[in-house]
Amino acid sequence: SQQGEEDPQALSIQEGENATMNCSYKTSINNLQWYRQNSGRGLVHLILIRSNEREKHSGRLRVTLDTSKKSSSLLITASRAADTASYFCATTSYTGGFKTIFGAGTRLFVKA
């Protein structure tokens, strides 16, 4: 079973609104990463947060991590139509070797 699970599965908002996506995971992690995938393309790394960090910012992105609840959230502020994509969280854990496991993703649609 996949380590990370995103919520919601799909999200539709108006341009200018904020978008929040959540990710839950099951086991201890070394870090959690968020990636974006435009339709039919490869994944692009957005941000990485380590297990000893609680919050990180990058431009319009804000990521939080709560290791006690095994959850993370990605906030995109002032969304744009170009933000329309699928967003995946990925957790890295050491289990005899570092493995990065992806969740099923949140499909974000930003209406102009």
Task: Indicate whether 111 belongs to the interface with another protein (CB under 8 A).
Answer: no
Beta pairing, strands 106-111 & 10-14: parallel
Judged by CB under 8 A, which of 15, 62, 67, 102 binds another protein? 102
Does residue 15 sit in helix, strand or coil? coil
Q: Tokens in use for 65? A: 């991590």
Residue 19-58 contact track with another protein, rule CB under 8 A, x = bound: -----------xx-x-------xxxxx--x-x--------
Least CB distance to another protein at residue 99 (A): 6
Residues contacting 108, CB < 8 A, separation 6+: 10, 11, 12, 13, 19, 21, 76, 79, 83, 84, 85, 86, 87
Least CB distance to another protein at residue 61 (A): 14
Stretch that binds another protein, among 52-60, 63-71, 73-81, 101-109 (CB under 8 A): 101-109
Would you say 44 or 81 has its CB closer to another protein? 44
- The span from the CA of 22 to the CA of 7, in Å, is 5
